[in-house]
Amino acid sequence: MSGALEVPLKDLKKWLEQETVSVIKPLKDKGADLLKDVRSKIDGIRETCEKLLEDSEREMRRGDSKTYRPARAANKLARKALETIEKTVIPDEISHENLVMLQEDLEKMLVAIGRGRRVWFPQIKPYFIIDRRRFDAASRKMVDSLEKLRTFSSNEYVKVKDVEEAFSMIGRLLQSLKELDEVEGRKKRMERRGKILEKKIAEHQHKIALIRSRNELSELVRTNEKTEELKRKVKHDLRHLQKPFFNFKAWPEAQTSISRLMKQESSASI
C-alpha cells in the first residue's frame, strides 16, 4: 500500500501545474484563439465605423440639403460606436474570471451599439446603404464571437475554475506565510534589543547601588544640607549690621549737605 503523497508547500503550485497541464493547456490555447477572434471582430466593427465616419464627413462637406441630415446622423452613430468600442479591453491572461468579465463588457458594448443603431438608422435611410450593411454584418459577427466565448467559458473552461482557485489560494497562503516570517523576524529583533536594554538597565542599577553603598550620595546630600544651614545662620547673624551699614553708607551724603549749608550761611553773613 503506497503512502500518502507529501508535497512541500513551497513546491505545491509547481506540482499542481505539472499535474494539470495536460487538461489546462489545451483549454488555455483554445481560449487564446477565441480572444484573438474577439479582437478581430472588434477591429471589424471599428473599421466599419471609421469608414462610415469618413463617408459621412465627406458627404457633410458637400453641403447637399438632401443628404446633410442623414450624413450627420451617420456621423453621430459612428462616433458613439467608436467611443463604446474603445472602452472594451481584451485581457492578456486567460482565466475564468477574465472571461466572465470580458463577456459582460462585450454584452454592454453590443447593447450600446444596438441602441445607437435603432436611434440613428431611421434617420440615415435610404442613404449609406453599403455602410449600413457593413455595420450590421460586423455587429452580427461580433454577436457570434461572443456566443462562442460564452459557450466555451460556461461548458469547457469551467473545468479549470477549481484549479485556478486552488492556485489563487496557494498564492495567498504563501504570501501569508511570508508576512508571518517577517513578523517573526521583527519580533526576534525586538526581543534582542529588549535584552540589550535590560542588560544596560541592570548595569546602571548596579552602579547606583555601588555609589549608595559607598555613602557618596548620602555624604553629598549632607554637605548640601550643611551649606544651606550655614547660609541661613550667616544671614541671621548679619541682620544686626544692616542698620549701621546703611547709616555708614549715607554718611558721605550727610557731610556734603552740611558743607553746602555752612557755605550758604557764610555767604549770607557777608
- The residue among 105, 56, 58 whose CA lies nearest residue 79 is 56
Q: Which of 9-23, 39-53, 102-116 has the lowest mean pLDDT?
A: 9-23
Write out pLDDT tens, residues 100-140: 899 999 999 999 999 999 999 999 989 999 999 999 999 99
Q: Which residues contact 86 (CB under 8 A, 6 or more apart)?
A: none
Segment 218-226 mean pLDDT: 69
Question: For residue 54, which amino acid is it?
Answer: E
Q: Which grid coordinates belong to 154?
A: 460556461
The Cα–Cα gap between 142 and 34 comes to 12
Q: How confident is the model at residue 217 (pLDDT cuts 50, 70, 90)?
A: low
Q: What is the mean pLDDT of residues 247-251?
A: 53
Predicted pLDDT at 207: 74
- From the list 27, 21, 143, 175, the residue with the least C-alpha distance to 94 is 27
| Residue 102 and residue 149 in contact, taking contact as beta carbons nearer than 8 Å | yes
**Taking all residues of the chain, what is their mean pLDDT, rounded to a whole number?**
79
Domain boundaries, the chain: 9-180
Closest CA to 27 of 142, 144, 162: 162
Whole-angstrom distance, CA of residue 109 vs CA of residue 154: 20
Alpha helix (H) residue ranges in the chain: 9-62, 68-86, 96-124, 129-151, 158-213, 216-237, 242-269
The average pLDDT across 33-58 equals 94
Grid coordinates in use for 110? Answer: 453590443
Q: Which whole number is the average pLDDT over 263-269? A: 56
Cis check for the bond before 126: say yes or no (omega within 30 of 0).
yes
| pLDDT (tens digit per residue) in 155-201 | 888 777 766 666 666 666 667 667 777 777 788 888 788 878 888 78
Per the CB < 8 A criterion, the answer to whether 134 and 46 are in contact is no
Of 35-39, 89-93, 240-244, which one has max mean pLDDT? Answer: 35-39
CB-CB contact of 45 with 136 (8 Å): no
Least confident of 50-59, 205-214, 240-249: 240-249
Q: What is the CATH number of domain 9-180?
A: 1.20.140
What percentage of the chain carries pLDDT values higher than 70? 68
Q: Confidence band (pLDDT; 50, 70, 90) for 1?
A: very low
Lowest-confidence pick of 6-10, 48-52, 118-122, 157-161: 6-10
Is pTM beyond 0.95? Reply is: no
